[in-house]
């Protein structure tokens, strides 16, 4: 793609604290790099929880956001959770605080 990027895959097993450490690191890094965005997804074999940030923010999500519509729409930018609405790829939905 030609853009600077960092990728990370962490296998933490049953320790959910390690999962949240990864979220914290992403939340701390994104404000320091204005063009950076991060996603936090659980890909652990049998326990496929999917979007970690969506699970924690479930009570505050807009009605259009379902597991089928959330792919590539939820990310951390500037230290806050951002949603990209399905009808617009130009500007992110107002940040959600979780």
Interval 12-56: pLDDT, tens: 777 778 878 888 988 898 899 888 888 877 766 554 456 778 877
Distance, in Å, from the CA atom of 40 to the CA atom of 55, rounded to the nearest integer, reads 11
What is the reported pTM?
Answer: 0.68
DSSP letters along 73-96, please? TEEEETTEEEE--TT-SSSPEEEE
**Cβ–Cβ under 8 Å, residues 30 and 38:** yes
Best CA proximity match to 55, nearest among 81, 27, 84: 81
Distance, in Å, from the CA atom of 8 to the CA atom of 2, rounded to the nearest integer, reads 18
């Amino acid at each position: 793609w030609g853009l600077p990027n960092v990728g990370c895959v962490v296998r933490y097993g049953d320790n959910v604290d390690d999962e949240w450490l990864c979220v914290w690191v992403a939340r701390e890094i994104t404000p320091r790099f204005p063009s950076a965005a991060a996603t936090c997804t659980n890909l652990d074999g049998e326990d496929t929880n999917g979007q970690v940030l969506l699970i924690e923010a479930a009570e505050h999500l807009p009605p259009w956001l379902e597991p089928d519509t959330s792919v590539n729409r939820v990310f951390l930018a500037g230290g806050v959770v951002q949603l990209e609405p399905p009808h617009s790829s130009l500007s992110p939905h107002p940040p959600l605080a979780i």
